């Protein structure tokens, strides 16, 4: 067997001391209730390899030649939303050596998924998505030519060049189009003549990275970066947590160094409100709770770039809006289940996680659940329907669009 | 031979549902190790029951198939799995319900697969805590595992071990019968008293390493959550004086938690910014709880006098406030360079400790060159369990170095054997420590244990080989 990609993490894998805190550890001091969402309410069978300790043990057995790559092993590695809560609650991971975290669970899973992908152990559904994305540049099995159809007919089409570029992402382009439209309206209200990439926008590469097709991820990343640079962009704005994280974390990991600034639209909107360039007129009534996406949270804390306070600051500025926190918020936020390729790999498990999160939101007594990611929106709103929840889902950019002038 | 893995799997699937049974090699391998450096022990099948009834049926099936059962809680043990191979591993961690918080009898009854941190989380919502609140590994370690190991840890200075807060159990006996112990055995009584009819049947299952039955529910004492707390840290040049100070504080029954750090840990924490620790040989750290500010201040003043009278010099309480405001989060469980760890906790009378600890250095002297060559380090921290000191003699090594791991296993065993000869009372035993301790309990005492085991478990189904039974 040729050298595995995951071997670069051998030191880290051996640092796992198998203490088991990556499963159900709870901290009353900051309401960190349990760790692995795959174990809550029997979302999965819950055997050891459904959480970090078991997965790392299996990878270690592979490195030691005691276990071969196999289909069940692939299933166990792909049944994970890579929410990074195991990393966040792991004593070893949160201890630093020469300034670096000692153990990075999700990076290890993804490196190993690359090995599984290369060994042909990718699921038929993931293979279909990857093949499609290579041709049509999106994972939704949609035609590339339809990518720009999110642009409302009654507005002037955004320019294809400019200093501020909105990277729409596949989910808001093909599924949650209302999020893209609200983003465009909001930025225009602030006087920003925001450009879009149009048909030159390709998938950000996140699904490929999550599944393990690094070569394809790199190809699309190179395309996106060079296109944006040619557009003369100084700032790229995102409404999708996954795309934002891909540009911030995956692109440097793939060797790319974008020259432009990366901003999530909510972070930018907060600034625009504070500078008086966006005016909140009010008129919103409702009790709202917020879901922190993993990709704008735990996936960015090591860069000190997490977006926890920004959406709360924005919500606090809306008159008539009553904000209430869920028990698990910020770094302890409970994953919606959509990420890590899980939604496409096993939608039953993915939605079981989303249902758990919606039930937690319901416990607050809020009638609206909001977030800052269309992919979280998608999974949570699907779960709401499945359990006949009375809550409504809005992306925060939609709420802002409603209350600003 | 009655059993084949396939009909065993089918039988278990009929009990818990096929979703919670697996004989897949990936799953079985993931259950083959605890947190120790011991080699894997691979079972035939893993099962995750949700109820006492399911556990009872699994145990009955194991008797029919004549296959052993390994009962697994948090899997955080540091002592190796039971000897042998094959059989059924019961993963208890689906059984995490808090069954009842009985405020009248000041008790909580919970399924034993719940870990200590999760139980504490649930109790805090209602304003309660158990007095002893779990081993340092309680973020994963279950209450069932804690009872099987007679665990000490958080709260032990003031409240003792898990045995001291236990009011009763529900146990699946090795042939599949279900019993309750304590007043819970009386259908007319609340589960509030450990004794009621005959001897202490609960005690039979405390520290039994799971060989006498599968604990499925436990009833524990609770107390109102202590809202007030304070901390104290004192450095000592002399270990005997530090131990005398701890002993005198314990006579007054003051702190909830006490930790004694020795030079290596002091240096480590000192470098990490914990004030006053970097260049001191010994430091004693107190965690004092109560219900009013006046109460904790008074207790702290008394402790302060005792510490200073014995030569202690007060330093800022960075270590205990960091550690005890974040229970379960720190253990010396990873080395400063990312090394793996192993230890053996045990109890010695507080005042005996200075003489006792000399033995380690005698043992380690034999391995000095090898330890240097293989980058094996040795650190010591102790907690206090009422009248005893509970040292953790921590060995660190780089686990990817197989040869180093083998040397560590050898040194670790040598230390344990010497500790036993010097009167140490180990409590979490498992395979490695248990088989060494058991050799010292011979004659009628061991015969008595064996008679109980044979009577309860004629097919030797439950955790066979532990305690050399």
Dump pLDDT digits (tens) for A322-378: 999 999 999 999 999 999 999 999 999 999 999 999 999 999 999 999 999 999 999
How many domains does chain B divide into?
4
How far does the CA of residue A366 sit from the closest CA of chain B (Å)?
A: 21
Grouping H, G, I as helix, E, B as strand and the rest as coil, residue B373 is: helix
Q: What is the pLDDT of residue A1?
A: 59
**Number of neighbouring beta carbons within 10 Å of residue B50:** 17
A274 touches chain B (CB under 8 A): no
Task: Measure in Å the smallest separation between the Cα of B412 and chain A Cα atoms.
Answer: 17
Residue B142 and residue B218 in one domain: yes
CATH number at residue B55: 3.30.43.10
Q: Please indicate, yes or no, if residue B350 is contained in any of the structural domains.
A: yes
- Give the end of a domain, one of B40, B70, B92: B92
B351 min Cα distance to partner chain A (Å) = 32
What residues of chain A lie within 8 A of the CB of B226, using their CB? none
pLDDT score at B6: 73
CA-based nearest residue to A334, from A312, A357, A316, A365 = A357
pLDDT at B45: 97
pLDDT of residue B4: 59
Domain match, B279 and B384 both: no
In this structure, is residue B136 part of a structural domain? yes
Q: With 0-12 CB in 10 A as exposed, 13-18 as middle and 19+ as buried, what is B293?
A: exposed
- Whether B204 maps to a domain, the answer reads yes
Same domain? For B207 and B248 the reply is no
Q: Residue B255: which of B309, B292, B301 has the closest Cα?
A: B301
Indicate the residue among B262, B292, B324 that finishes a domain.
B324
Domain stop point among B224, B242, B262:
B224
B320 and B355 assigned to the same domain: no
A177-189 and A374-386 helices, crossing angle to 10°: 130
User: Does B459 map to a domain?
Assistant: no
Residue A255, class by beta-carbon neighbours within 10 Å (0-12 exposed, 13-18 middle, 19+ buried)? Answer: exposed
Domains of chain A: 5-121 (no CATH), 125-274 (3.40.50), 286-403 (3.40.50)
Predicted pLDDT at A405 = 86
What is the domain extent for residue B405?
340-437
Same domain, B120 and B217: yes
Whether B281 and B216 share a structural domain: no
Question: Are B164 and B265 contained in the same domain?
Answer: no
Which chain B residues contact residue A74 at CB under 8 A? Answer: none
Q: Are residues B309 and B213 in the same domain?
A: no
Q: Is residue B448 part of a domain?
A: no
Tens digit of each residue's pLDDT, chain B (469 residues): 445 567 999 999 999 999 999 999 999 999 999 999 999 999 999 999 999 999 999 999 999 999 999 999 999 999 999 888 899 999 999 999 999 999 999 999 999 999 999 999 999 999 999 999 999 999 999 999 999 999 999 999 999 999 999 999 999 999 999 999 999 999 999 999 999 889 999 999 999 999 999 999 999 999 999 999 999 999 999 999 999 999 999 999 999 999 999 999 999 999 999 999 999 999 999 999 999 999 999 999 999 999 999 999 999 999 999 999 999 998 888 999 999 999 989 999 999 999 999 999 999 999 999 999 999 999 999 999 999 999 999 999 999 999 999 999 999 999 999 999 999 999 999 999 999 999 888 899 999 999 999 999 999 999 999 999 9
Q: Does residue B75 sit in the same domain as residue B115?
A: no
CA distance A103 to A87: 8
Is there a single domain that holds both residue B109 and residue B207? Answer: yes
| Cβ-contact A287, A365 below 8 angstroms | yes
Identify the pLDDT of residue B5: 66
Q: Which of A10, A18, A95 sits opposite B33 (nearest CB)?
A: A18
pLDDT digits (tens, 9 = 90+) for A10-40: 999 999 999 999 999 999 999 999 999 999 9
- Do residues B194 and B254 both lie within one domain? no
Nearest CA in chain A to B91: A47
Those residues of chain A that have pLDDT short of 50 are none
Q: How far is CA A167 from CA A213, A394, B372, in A?
A: 22, 20, 56
Q: What CATH number is associated with residue B307?
A: 3.30.70.3450
Distance from CA of B241 to the nearest CA of A (A): 33
Tell me, yes or no, whether B333 lies in a domain: no
Among the partner residues A11, A23, A102, nearest to B140 by beta-carbon distance: A23
**Residue B196 pLDDT:** 86
Instruction: Nearest by CB to B93, from A24, A26, A91: name it.
Output: A24
**Chain A hits for B137, Cβ within 8 Å:** 19
**Residue B59 domain-assigned (yes or no):** yes
Interface size A-B, in CB pairs within 8 Å, comes to: 134
Residue at B458 is within a domain: no
CATH of the domain at B402: 3.30.70.260
* Percentages of chain A per state (helix, strand, coil), in multiples of 5: 50, 10, 40
Q: Are residues B108 and B210 in the same domain?
A: yes
């Amino acid at each position: 067997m040729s050298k595995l990609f995951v071997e670069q993490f051998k030191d880290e894998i051996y640092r796992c001391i198998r203490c088991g805190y990556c499963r159900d550890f709870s901290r009353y001091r900051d309401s960190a209730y349990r760790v692995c969402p795959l174990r809550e309410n029997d979302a999965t069978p819950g055997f050891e390899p459904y959480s970090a300790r078991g997965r790392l043990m299996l990878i270690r057995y592979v490195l030691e030649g005691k276990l071969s790559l196999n289909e069940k092993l692939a299933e166990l590695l792909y049944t994970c939303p890579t929410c990074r809560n195991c990393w966040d609650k792991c004593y070893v991971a949160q201890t630093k050596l020469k300034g670096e975290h000692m153990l990075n669970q999700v990076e290890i899973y993804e490196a190993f998924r690359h090995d599984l992908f290369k060994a042909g152990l990718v699921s038929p559904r993931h293979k279909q998505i990857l093949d499609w994305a290579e041709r049509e540049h999106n994972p939704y099995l949609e035609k590339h030519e339809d990518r720009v159809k999110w642009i409302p007919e009654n507005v002037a089409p955004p320019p294809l060049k400019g200093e501020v570029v909105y990277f729409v992402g596949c989910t808001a382009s093909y599924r949650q189009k209302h999020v893209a439209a609200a983003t465009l309206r909001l930025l225009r209200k602030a006087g920003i003549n925001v450009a879009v990439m149009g048909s030159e926008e390709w998938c950000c590469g996140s699904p490929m990275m999550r599944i393990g097709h690094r070569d394809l991820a790199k190809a699309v990343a190179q395309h996106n970066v060079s296109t944006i640079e040619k557009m003369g962009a100084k700032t790229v704005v995102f409404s999708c947590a996954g795309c934002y994280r891909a540009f911030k974390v995956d692109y440097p990991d793939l060797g790319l160094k974008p020259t432009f600034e990366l901003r999530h639209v909510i972070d930018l909107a907060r600034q625009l409100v504070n500078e008086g360039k966006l005016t909140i007129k009010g008129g919103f009534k409702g009790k709202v709770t917020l879901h922190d996406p993993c990709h704008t949270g735990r996936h960015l804390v090591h860069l000190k770039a997490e977006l926890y306070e920004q959406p709360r600051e924005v919500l606090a500025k809306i008159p008539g809006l009553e904000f209430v926190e869920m028990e698990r918020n910020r770094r302890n936020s409970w994953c919606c289940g959509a990420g890590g390729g899980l939604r496409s790999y096993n939608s039953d498990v993915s939605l079981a996680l989303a249902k758990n999160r919606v039930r937690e939101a319901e416990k607050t007594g809020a009638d609206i659940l909001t977030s800052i990611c269309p992919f979280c929106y998608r999974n949570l709103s699907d779960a709401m329907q499945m359990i006949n929840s009375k809550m409504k889902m809005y992306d925060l950019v939609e709420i802002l669009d409603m209350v600003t002038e | 031979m009655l059993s084949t893995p396939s009909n065993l799997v089918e039988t278990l699937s009929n009990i818990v549902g096929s979703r919670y049974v697996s004989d897949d090699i990936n799953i079985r391998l993931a259950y083959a190790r605890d947190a120790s450096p011991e080699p894997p022990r691979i079972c035939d099948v893993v099962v995750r029951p949700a109820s006492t009834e399911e556990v009872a049926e699994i145990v009955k099936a194991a008797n029919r198939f004549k296959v052993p059962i390994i009962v697994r809680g948090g899997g955080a043990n540091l002592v190796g799995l039971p000897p042998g191979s094959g059989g059924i591993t019961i993963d208890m961690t689906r059984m995490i319900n808090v069954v009842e918080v009985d405020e009248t009898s000041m008790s909580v009854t919970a399924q034993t697969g719940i870990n200590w941190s999760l139980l504490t989380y649930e109790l805090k919502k209602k304003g309660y805590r158990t007095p002893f609140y779990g081993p340092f590994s309680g973020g994963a370690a279950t209450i069932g595992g804690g009872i099987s190991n007679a665990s000490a840890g958080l709260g032990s200075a003031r409240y003792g071990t898990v045995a001291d807060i236990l009011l009763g159990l529900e146990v699946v006996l090795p042939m599949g019968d279900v019993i309750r112990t304590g007043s819970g055995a009386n259908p007319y009584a609340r589960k509030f008293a450990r004794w009621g009819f005959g001897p202490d049947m609960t005690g039979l299952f405390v520290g039994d390493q799971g060989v006498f039955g599968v604990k499925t529910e436990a009833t524990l004492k609770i107390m109102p959550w202590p809202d007030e707390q304070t901390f104290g840290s004192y450095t000592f040049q002399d270990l005997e004086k530090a131990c005398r100070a701890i002993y005198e504080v314990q006579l007054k029954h003051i702190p909830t938690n006490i930790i004694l750090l020795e030079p290596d840990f002091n240096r480590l924490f000192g470098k990490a910014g914990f004030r006053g620790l970097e260049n001191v040989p010994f430091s004693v750290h107190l965690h004092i709880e109560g219900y009013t500010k006046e109460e904790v201040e008074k207790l702290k003043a008394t402790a302060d006098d005792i510490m200073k009278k014995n030569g202690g010099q007060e330093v800022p309480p960075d270590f205990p406030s960091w550690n005890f405001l974040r229970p379960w989060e720190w253990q010396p469980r990873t080395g400063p360079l990312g090394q793996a760890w192993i230890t053996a906790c045990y109890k010695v009378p507080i005042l005996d400790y200075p003489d006792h600890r000399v033995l380690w250095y005698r043992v380690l002297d034999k391995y000095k060159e090898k330890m240097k060559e293989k980058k094996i380090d040795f650190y010591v921290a102790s907690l206090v369990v009422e009248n005893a000191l509970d040292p953790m003699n921590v060995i660190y090594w780089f686990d990817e170095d197989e040869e180093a791991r083998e040397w560590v296993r050898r040194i670790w065993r040598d230390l344990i054997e010497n500790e036993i000869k010097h009167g140490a009372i180990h409590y979490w035993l498992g395979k490695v420590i248990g088989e060494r301790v058991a050799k010292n309990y011979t004659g009628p005492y061991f015969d008595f244990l064996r008679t109980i085991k044979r009577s309860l478990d004629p097919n030797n189904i439950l955790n066979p080989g532990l305690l050399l039974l």
